Structure 1
Amino acid sequence: MRELPGLTLTKLAVDPEMSNNVYLLRCRATGERLMVDAAAEPERLLELLGDDGLAGVVTTHQHWDHHRALAAVVDATGATTYAGAPDADAVTEQTGVRIDRRLEHGDTVTFGEVTLGVIALAGHTPGSVALVHDDGSGAPHLWTGDSLFPGGVGSTFGDAAAFQQLLGEVETKVFGTLPDATTFYPGHGDDSTLGDERPSLADWRERGW
Structure 2
Amino acid sequence: MSEPAKPEALLRGEIIPVTPFQQNCSLIWDPLTMEGALVDAGGEAERLLARVAAHGIKLVKLLVTHGHLDHAGAVAEIAEKLKLPIEGPHPDDAFWIDGMPDAAKQYGFPPTRSFVPDRWLQQGDTVTLGSLTLDVLHCPGHTPGHVVFHHPASRLALVGDVIFQNSIGRTDFPRGNHADLIKAIRTRLFPLGDDTQFVPGHGPMSTFGAERKQNPYVADSMF
Give the conservation status (yes or no) of the 8 Å contact 2:134–2:152: yes
Deviations 1:27-56 (CA, angstroms, capped at 9, x unpaired): 111111111001111110121222743111
* Alignment partner, residue 62 of structure 1: 67
Query: Are positions 1:75 and 2:106 aligned together?
Result: no
Query: Are positions 1:164 and 2:170 aligned together?
Result: no
Give the conservation status (yes or no) of the 8 Å contact 1:88–1:99: no
Give the conservation status (yes or no) of the 8 Å contact 1:53–1:77: no
* Alignment partner, residue 18 of structure 2: 14
SS of equivalent to 2:59:
coil
Give the conservation status (yes or no) of the 8 Å contact 1:6–1:29: no
Give the conservation status (yes or no) of the 8 Å contact 1:39–1:66: yes
Flag the 1:170–1:132 CA change in 2: closer, same or farther, 3 A.
same
When structure 1 is superposed on structure 2, of 68-77 and 46-55 the one drifting more is 46-55
Flag the 1:48–1:92 CA change in 2: closer, same or farther, 3 A.
farther
- Equivalent pairs: percent with the same residue? 32
How far, CA to CA, are the matches of 2:118 and 2:35 in structure 1? 18
Structure 1 unpaired stretches of 5+: none
Taking structure 1 as the reference length, what is the TM-score of the superposition? 0.86
Flag the 1:179–1:74 CA change in 2: closer, same or farther, 3 A.
same
Aligned residues: 198
Deviation at 1:93, TM superposition (A): 5.4
Residue identity in the other structure for 1:8? R
**Greater strand share, 1 or 2?**
1
Taking structure 2 as the reference length, what is the TM-score of the superposition? 0.81
How far, CA to CA, are the matches of 1:102 and 1:158 in structure 2? 21
* From 209, 215, 219, the counterpart of 1:195: 209
| Structure-to-structure mapping, 1:143-162, within 5 angstroms | 143-157=158-172, 162=177
Deviation at 1:182, TM superposition (A): 0.3
Whose radius of gyration is greater, 1 or 2?
2
Deviation above 3 Å: which 4+ runs of structure 1? none
* From 137, 159, 163, the counterpart of 1:119: 137
Deviation at 1:90, TM superposition (A): 3.6
SS of equivalent to 2:188:
helix
How far, CA to CA, are the matches of 1:96 and 1:167 in structure 2? 29
How far, CA to CA, are the matches of 1:156 and 1:167 in structure 2? 10
Give the conservation status (yes or no) of the 8 Å contact 1:87–1:127: yes
How far, CA to CA, are the matches of 2:43 and 2:188 in structure 1? 29
RMSD, aligned CA: 2.4
Structure 2 unpaired stretches of 5+: 1-7, 101-112
* Alignment partner, residue 197 of structure 2: 183
How far, CA to CA, are the matches of 2:117 and 2:127 in structure 1? 14
* Alignment partner, residue 104 of structure 1: 122
SS of equivalent to 2:172:
coil
